[in-house]
């Protein structure tokens, strides 16, 4: 299986478990990898034959900016549901980075994989 990817999509949102986190917007970075049939898309040479990553990014940004969840896990599951329902993505890997969330660590976050990858 081929895949399309988006790396380090930066979005401001309210996320966290502490009161101070609920008062400010924080930056998260999102990496998406989505199973796709690149050969079919290449043969057609039309965006309609593939996953429109521009449309995916707009939708993910809208969702993340509007959410006020506590956990990065919840955010990742919400994105997975959007990719599945709205874009027909069968296999995906979503990584959400929350840089600076833990003193002494450059980055923390979560990576989830949903669906079955067909090779």
3-state SS of the chain is CEEEEEEEEEEEECCCCCHHHHHCCEEEEEEEEEEECHHHHHHHCCHHHCCCHHHHHHHHHHHHHHCCCCCHHHHHHHHHHHHHHHHCCCCEEEEEECCCCCCCCCCCEEEEEECCCCC
Q: Which pLDDT value is given to residue 49?
A: 86
The residue among 1 and 113 whose pLDDT is bigger is 113
Domain CATH for 100: 3.30.1130.10
pLDDT-derived band at 119 (thresholds 50, 70, 90) equals low
Give the predicted TM-score (pTM) of the model: 0.93
Residues annotated catalytic, as ranges: 98
pLDDT-derived band at 63 (thresholds 50, 70, 90) equals very high
The share of the chain scoring above pLDDT 70, in percent, equals 98
Q: Does any domain span residue 93?
A: yes
- The whole-number average pLDDT for the span 76-96 is 97
- Total of domains in the chain: 1
Structural domain harbouring 13: 2-114
Distance CA 90, CA 110 (A): 20
């Amino acid at each position: 299986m081929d895949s399309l990817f988006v790396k380090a999509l930066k979005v401001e949102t309210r996320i966290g478990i502490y009161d101070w986190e609920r008062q400010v917007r924080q930056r998260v970075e999102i990496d998406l990898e989505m199973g796709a049939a690149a050969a079919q898309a290449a043969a057609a040479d039309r965006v309609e034959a593939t996953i429109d990553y521009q449309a995916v990014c707009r939708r993910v940004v809208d969702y993340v900016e509007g959410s006020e969840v506590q956990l990065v896990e919840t955010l990742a599951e919400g994105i997975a549901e959007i990719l599945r329902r709205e874009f027909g993505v069968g296999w995906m890997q979503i990584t959400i980075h929350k840089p600076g969330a833990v003193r002494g660590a450059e980055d923390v976050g979560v990576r989830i994989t949903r669906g079955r990858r067909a090779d």
